[in-house]
Amino acid sequence: MFKIENYLKELSKKQNDEILTRQEVADYLRISLVTIHSWNKHGILNPIRIGNRIFYKKQDILDVLEQQKINKKR
């Protein structure tokens, strides 16, 4: 399983787009895994599924944060 994760991390470095696990996203945003699940369910986040593992592009996470920031200003 770690081979896939290492491959994705290496691939993301080449593409200049970091790939994060659910736990890394939760730590980065300081939210719970339940919140991440809810955001997936409501289409806020777009997960990448490989087997039974779920990953996220860091740029997608940053885009969601920026969108939320814009919506709060309105």
CATH code where residue 49 lies: 1.10.1660
Residue 15: predicted pLDDT: 56
Would you say residue 72 has pLDDT above 80?
no
Beta bridge partner(s), residue 53: 50
User: Which segment, 4-8, 12-16, 40-44, is predicted with the most confidence on average?
Assistant: 40-44
Is the whole model's pTM more than 0.85, yes or no?
no
Binning pLDDT at 50, 70 and 90, where does residue 43 land? very high
Give percent of the chain with pLDDT exceeding 70.
86
Determine contact, residues 33/21, Cβ cutoff 8 Å: no
> How many structural domains comprise the chain?
1
Range of the domain at 59: 2-73
CA 6/CA 10 separation, integer angstroms: 6
Q: What is the mean pLDDT of the chain?
A: 85
